[in-house]
Structure 1
């Protein structure tokens, strides 16, 4: 019998305002990495509440996800895999972010071109992929639009 596949469940949020995206900077194994506010889902926590918690911890901003961008499956290595629920928030103006989590060293509002230029400093390829999906969905002439949060059944949390 093969071992049961148990990917980590993570949540992330594309936060967009005035042509820029809010990324967090962190040091992982001595290397500077950039990511959306993101993290692992905790026990007895809904996916939406987990995303809101990660936003507060990593940016200091008390924001609620507005819609789902996508659900991504990612294999980081032979023994490490993730299912990542990526949400989005569109703000009318950029807000000053101050991380509460000591693992986050800074926050940055960056354009997509600036994010792409970070290359290997991105935590994973999902950083750019989820932003591109967000932008495609935000184009009112294309389908599908952002997926509403009503998709999630949170009646049991």
Structure 2
């Protein structure tokens, strides 16, 4: 068997003490996640997080720093995820844009609201990314190199 980890990106965006999340349906379950998705061939990680945020929320996103890199094993499906989470500037929302399949829509939650709904988060990575962001973890984008 060939091991093929899933490389994903996520956007952490805050406005007025609330964080942008996406309500979505995954495996028949409603849950919350940061705007996130898979890194596609031919794009940079920065392009991927910008694209995913636009596709899932209609918001334009400009990544400004790396919040963290996360490794998570999803035993129910025998999958490995490697997530690159980025903080940055959230632009306007294009409300005419159709969102990705399975996306109910963007929602804004406070950290307290997120904690109260912990069991509704898509994975443990959602809360971990948020905790690192709130702790002030900011790494320069220059850490990422294309060679």
Give the TM-score, by structure 2 length.
0.89
- Deviant stretches of 4+, over 3 Å: 94-99
Give unmatched runs, 5+ long, in structure 2: none
Name the residue aligned to 2:101: 102
Name the residue aligned to 1:57: 55
Residue from 42, 45, 49 that aligns with 1:44: 42
Distance in 2, matches of 1:97 and 1:132, equals: 29
Cα distance, 1:29 vs. partner?
Answer: 2.0
- Mark the structure with the bigger radius of gyration: 1
Give unmatched runs, 5+ long, in structure 1: 138-144
Name the residue aligned to 2:143: 151
- What is the aligned-residue RMSD (CA, Å)? 1.9
Within 5 A, what are the aligned runs for 1:1-150?
A: 3-77=1-75, 79-90=78-89, 98=95, 100-137=99-136, 145-150=137-142
Name the residue aligned to 1:140: none
> How many residues are aligned here?
144
Deviation per CA, 1:83-131, whole angstroms, max 9, x where unpaired?
000001255xx96575621321111111011011112210001111111
